Amino acid sequence: MKLNGKVAFITGANRGLGLETARDLGKQGIVVVLGSRDSKKGEAAAAKLRDEGITAKSLAFDVTKSLDHQKAYDYFAKKYGRLDVLVNNAGVLKESQITPDGSGPNPVSVVSPEILRETFETNFFAPVALTQKLLPLIRKAPAGRIVNVSSILGSLTLHSDPNSPIYPFKTFAYDASKAALNAFTVHLAYEVREDKIKVNSAHPGWVKTEMGGPNAPMEPSEGGKTSAQLATLPDNGPNGGFFHLGQPLPW
């Protein structure tokens, strides 16, 4: 496979959406570096991609650890001198979508401060801090791309519409963390609007992953397509948007 000279860092990439995003990017000739908390699982995933002809590397990485942010910066600065693509994919869902009595989603009135803090730490504070750390390297790329993996459940517009398909699916901590991540997308896109950098939020879709569960309608192979599209946007592509498979979503 011919490499195109670009390098991408995907967090939470040893399985699920992150691995599929890495696969899609790797098939386009991009060197993919898989960030994984479990170094053995990360290397196994990278080896699997290499068996498919993809140039893949693994980096032991926990998005919630600031020391790992510095380690990632040092890795890309020393090895490549820049970073072309950052996909903030790592995320958690700490809540169940069904209450103990089976009647519906967790009521916001009982979501604990601990769940809120843990969810926001991984889904919002960590990707913001990581992006801030790596932005100087992304600025050195000819056409930097930042993809924040969000969710349609972060759409305040759809959550407030009784006719919306997501109206009854309310997991407060997760939804609020993704709405906050979307706000980061908008603000960072504004900051880099004069640069050759594009920042967008991705809704991967409801995918059969450990988080999505077995009832999801989309196969894992489809899960990385939106992130991969946004990671490889042309110069005239959108900046500061929220998309699923090329279609804009409401904030």
Q: Which amino acids are annotated catalytic?
A: 174
CA–CA dist 210, 16 (Å, integer): 7
Amino acid (one-letter) located at 124: F
Handedness of CA 242, 244, 249, 251 (dihedral sign): negative
Concatenating the DSSP letter of every residue in the chain gives: ----S-EEEESS-SSHHHHHHHHHHHTTT-EEEEEESSHHHHHHHHHHHHHTT--EEEEE--TT-HHHHHHHHHHHHHHTSS-SEEEE------S-SS-TTSSSSPPGGG--HHHHHHHHIIIIIHHHHHHHHHHHHHHTSTTEEEEEE--GGG-HHHHT-TTSTTTT---HHHHHHHHHHHHHHHHHHHHTTTTTEEEEEE---SBSSTTT-TT-SB-HHHHTHHHHHHHT--TTS-SS-EEETTEE---
CA–CA dist 63, 90 (Å, integer): 7
Nearest Cα residue to 7 out of 201, 143, 176, 101: 143
